[in-house]
Amino acid sequence: MPETKETLDVVADIQKEIEKLGTNVKENVAELNKNYVKLKEIVDRSHDDSYDKNFIDKLAADISTRQEALDKKFKEQTDEAVQRLDKIEVALKRVGSSDSKNNGIQIYTKEQAEQFAKSVLSLSAGGEKSVTIDKVDEFIKANNDSDFLDNYRSAFLKYCRARGLDGKNWNPQNGFLTPGEQKAMLSASDPDGGVLIPVAMNTNLIQRVWENDIMRSLASVQGITTTAMEWMVDWDEAAAGWESETVQGSELNTPKWDKRRITVHNMYYRARITQQLIEDAAVNPETWLSDKAGEKMGRVEGASFFTGDGITKPRGILTYANGTNYGQIQQVNMGAAATLTADGFVNVKYALLENYLNLPSLAWVMNRSTVADAMKMKYGDGTYIWKPSMIANDPTSSILDIPVRMSPSMPTVAAGALAVVLAAWKEFYMILDRLGVTVQRDPYTAKPFIEFYFRKRVGGDVLNFEAGKIGVISA
């Protein structure tokens, strides 16, 4: 009869549902209740077949028993999951996590919890240790050292942020996602929200500070309107002799004249910038490039005032031959083969004529490292030859009562190095300026680039050879 066949079909469905129980208890219990209600409706419609009714009553009682067992099992599994969650939270608090967002961890099944424990603990222990979730507390206590706890916390945060607790797409060796589905939004991935994070751009430039030469602040500087300047030099002296009262002396030689010439040289810098960069850049490229070119030209010319060979550039003071004749600069031994000496500074100072020792432009010039060595030097009685400035906020100090200035173009202390210069600089060296830094802007020759051509015309040379002395590191 129709009721019996329908009853058997329902029973078969229920038996199949019972066989599938275990993976998700809560869902199976709900489905079982639904089938139970349906079965009772069929029983109520069955009046004629007592055998079927008895069978169905027995089956219904069996279903009720099974439902009670499933409810009990569901409660046990729920309690077990809560206990495991408590262990994870206790372990996390032990390693000092301050991230409140990670306190709400949910571990729904034993398999998920064990996968989480194995991945995190294996990574934090370098891949050599692995435990199941019910041993987490014991494992943490057994490895209670700061390095391990720090590694555990780091691995835990990386694991949770990357994927969560299901263990999918997680590579415990490097802590990154393997190719696969990414459900969460995070800043580390551009497609998953990283592109939404703005980056602040500050228009201020952090620039390197370069050590500049100080020759322009010491020497004489003269502006001219032509390519060179000449001076007459009175370097020679008259002759004199003795004669008797009645006998006239013979004719003596007259002094010789000389002429000193300083030529202006061309310094340049060429560079290109695209028109689009000039239009769109947050920082003005033209102004920036002009400043950089001017600073570099200043350093290049400053170095030439000390070491330039005079060919297409100024002539430097360190390139002249040793001597006391015109066209030579005297080099004074500093008293030791490879180091400074206090007596060496005395030797250099008093090699200079007294006339120049009293001039206001008199100063020592040496490298910054040489100054550091000089500050440590003492006289025989233990007093330092270095004296700090007596003027407030004045960085200039003195050696033998003469101011000290620093130049990066001066050699450092070494055997044979020309490490120290003492001069009355206004008398000693002349700088000629024909033109400051100028720029030509060419937007036509190399389109879409704009070419910038920077030029400076400057010259420099020794003016008075006896107004300066060089200290050489030598015995």
pLDDT at 369 over 50: yes
In terms of average pLDDT, the best of 83-97, 137-151, 220-234 is 220-234
pLDDT of residue 104: 41
Preceding peptide of 448 cis, ω within 30°: yes
Rounded to 5°, angle at Cα 304 from 298 and 309:
155
CA dist 437 and 267 (Å) reads: 9
* CATH number of domain containing 412: 3.30.2400.10
Looking up tokens 């100072």 gives 349
**Any domain includes 202:** no
* CATH number of domain containing 71: 1.20.58
pLDDT of residue 10: 52
**Any domain includes 331:** yes
DSSP 157-215: HHHHHHT-SS-TTEETTTTEEPSS---S-BTTSTTTBGGGS----------PPPPPP-H
- For 136-143, what is the mean pLDDT? 56
Of 106, 88, 85, 107, the residue nearest 97 (C-alpha): 88
The CB density around residue 383, as the number of other CB atoms within 10 Å, is 10
Count CA atoms closer than 13 A to 453's CA, side-chain side.
7
- 156 and 232 in a single domain? The answer is no
**Residue 168 domain boundaries:** 95-196
- 447 and 353 in a single domain? The answer is yes
pLDDT of residue 419: 95
- 75 and 99 in a single domain? The answer is no
Of 427, 422, 298, the residue nearest 363 (C-alpha): 422
pTM over 0.75: no
CA dist 442 and 455 (Å) reads: 14
pLDDT at 356 over 90: yes
CA dist 403 and 466 (Å) reads: 19
pLDDT of residue 211: 73
Instruction: Decide: residue 246, CB within 10 A, 0-12 exposed, 13-18 middle, 19+ buried.
Output: exposed
List, for residues 103-125, the tens digit of each pLDDT value. Answer: 444 433 455 555 555 555 554 44
Q: How many domains does the chain have?
A: 3
With bands split at pLDDT 50, 70 and 90, how would you rate the model's confidence at 69?
A: confident
pLDDT at 143 over 60: no
Task: Give SS3 for 451.
Answer: strand
List, for residues 173-218, the tens digit of each pLDDT value. Answer: 544 444 444 456 766 677 777 777 776 666 666 666 777 788 999 9
